[in-house]
Amino acid sequence: MARAIAVSERVRGTTSPNPPVGCVILDAGGEPVGEGATRPPGQAHAEVVALARAGDRARGGTAVVTLEPCNHHGRTPPCTGALLAAGVARVVHAVADPNPGAAGGADALRAAGVEVGSGLLAEEVERGPLRAWLHFARTGRPHVTWKYAATLDGRVAAADGTGRWIGSAESRAESHDLRAKVDAVVVGTGTVRVDDPRLTARPTGPGPAPARQPLRVVVGTGDLPAGARVLDDEAETVHVRTHDPDVVLGELARRGVVDVLLEGGPTLAGAFTAARRVDRVLAYLVPRLSGSGAPAMRDTGVSAVAGAVGMVVEQVSMCGPDVRVSAVPDR
Ligand code: AOF
Ligand code: ZN
C-alpha cells in the first residue's frame, strides 16, 4: 500500500475531478508484477493500468489499491469487472469510495468470490493523496489549503510592503512543487497589484518541466492592472469578481477543480477563515523578526481569543531553515 500511495503521488494534479488513485498488483506468490495510477478523466483507472502491466501474472494474485475499486460505468467501465476478468483472488483497499454512483465495489467483489480487505494505511491515504478528493466527494466543495510564509512574529511583508517571498530557498522551491500538484492557485486582487506574481509552477529539481499548470484564480471586485503577469499566456487565469469564498468555490467546483492552494494575501485568507473555508493551513515560519508590516491574516471577524478558530497541528517539520507547520480545523 505504501508503494500504491507513492505511485499515486506522481499523478496528483492531473486527474481532477477524479481522485488520484494508486494500485499495485501482486502475483499469487506475493511478488509485485504491475503498478499504475489514475489517468486523466475519461482514461483508464489505476487498477486497469496496473492490470495491463501485470498481464497473466495477475491471475490468483492480489490487487492493492488506495481507493475501493469502482463498481459503475462512468466515463470508463467498472474496475470490479476488470479485476474479475483478470482472475484476481484478493483485493485490499485503503478507503471506501464515498461517491454513491461508484461505491459498492467491495460488496460486488465479495459476492463474486474475491477476498476483500480494507483500511490498510487508511489514515495515510486520507491525509495524503486522497485528502482533497475525499473532501470534495463528501462536501461538494473543493479542498482549500492556505499556504503562507511569515517571520516568527507572523509578518508576511515588511512595512514598506516588500514581501514577495519571505521564506528560504528551500521553502520557495517547495511552493513550486505544491503548485504543480494542485488544480488551482488562488490570490486576491491586492496581491496581484502589490506583488505581481506569475502563479505558475516552476519546479527547480531535475526532471522535465510540469506537463500542466494550475488554473490561476484572482478574487476580488477590483480590476487587474493591465500588464499583470497573471495575464500572460503561461497558464489559464480566471478573475472571480466577488469577496464571497463560497462563490469562488462554487465557480471552481463547476470547473472541475478539487484541490486549491490559497496563496494570499491577508485579506483573502481572513475572508476564507471567517467563512470556515480553510481546510488546512500550511505555514512556513521563517527565523527572522520583522516587528512591522502586514500580518499573515486580517479581517476574520474574530475579536477575542475565545472566538479564535481552533486548529489541530498534524505535523511539524523543517524545510531548510524554516519550520513547516501543517494544521487542520478542530471540528
Ligand atoms: C477506481 N480507480 O483510479 C479511480 C476511481 O467517470 P469514471 O469512470 O472515470 O469514474 C469516476 C469515479 O470513479 C470517481 O468519482 C471515483 O468514485 C472513482 N474513481 N475508482 O476504482 C481509480 N480514479
Ligand atoms: Zn475504477
Amino acid at 287: P
User: What pLDDT does residue 159 have?
Assistant: 58
List Cβ<8 Å contacts ≥24 apart for 308-311.
309/273, 309/276, 311/281
- Cβ 58 vs Cβ 27: under 8 Å: yes
Closest ligand 1 atom to the C-alpha of 76? 8
**Closest residue by CA, ligand 1 atom 20:** 70
Ligand nearest to the CA of 82: 2
User: What pLDDT does residue 163 have?
Assistant: 60
Question: What residues does 116 pair with on adjacent strands?
Answer: 91
Question: What residues does 216 pair with on adjacent strands?
Answer: 185, 237
CATH class of the domain comprising 142-329: alpha beta
276: which DSSP letter? Answer: T
Going from the Cα of 70 to the center of ligand 2, the distance in angstroms, rounded, reads 4
What is the spatial distance between Cα 65 and Cα 35, in angstroms, rounded to a whole number?
A: 10
- Cβ 275 vs Cβ 248: under 8 Å: no
Exposure on the CB side of residue 189, measured as CA atoms within 13 A: 14
The answer to whether the annotation marks 179 as part of a ligand binding site is yes
Q: Is 47 in the pocket of ligand 1 (CB under 6 A)?
A: yes
- Cβ 230 vs Cβ 198: under 8 Å: yes
**Closest residue by CA, ligand 1 atom 9:** 75
- Catalytic residue, candidates 35, 47, 68, 174: 47
For ligand 1, mutation pick of 25, 70, 138 (most atoms within 8 Å of CB): 70
Q: Provide the 3-class DSSP secondary structure of residue 164.
A: coil
Going from the Cα of 328 to the center of ligand 2, the distance in angstroms, rounded, reads 30
Closest ligand 1 atom to the C-alpha of 17? 15
Grid coordinates standing for 322? 524554516
The count of other CB atoms within 10 Å of the CB of residue 87 is: 13
What is the spatial distance between Cα 226 and Cα 211, in angstroms, rounded to a whole number?
A: 28
The answer to whether the annotation marks 12 as part of a ligand binding site is no
Residues with beta carbon < 5 A to ion ligand 2?
45, 70, 79
Per domain, the residue ranges of the chain are: 2-131, 142-329
User: What pLDDT does residue 302 have?
Assistant: 85
Longest Cα–Cα distance of the chain, Å, equals 68
What is the spatial distance between Cα 158 and Cα 156, in angstroms, rounded to a whole number?
A: 7
**Does ipTM come in above 0.90?**
yes
CATH superfamily, with its number, for domain 2-131: Cytidine Deaminase, domain 2 (3.40.140.10)
User: What pLDDT does residue 235 have?
Assistant: 95
Parts of the chain with a pLDDT under 50: none
What is the spatial distance between Cα 130 and Cα 16, in angstroms, rounded to a whole number?
A: 11
174 is an active site residue: no
User: What pLDDT does residue 102 have?
Assistant: 92
User: What pLDDT does residue 158 have?
Assistant: 60
Residue 95's H or E segment, with its range, is strand 90-95
Of 45, 43, 34, the C-alpha closest to 69 is 45
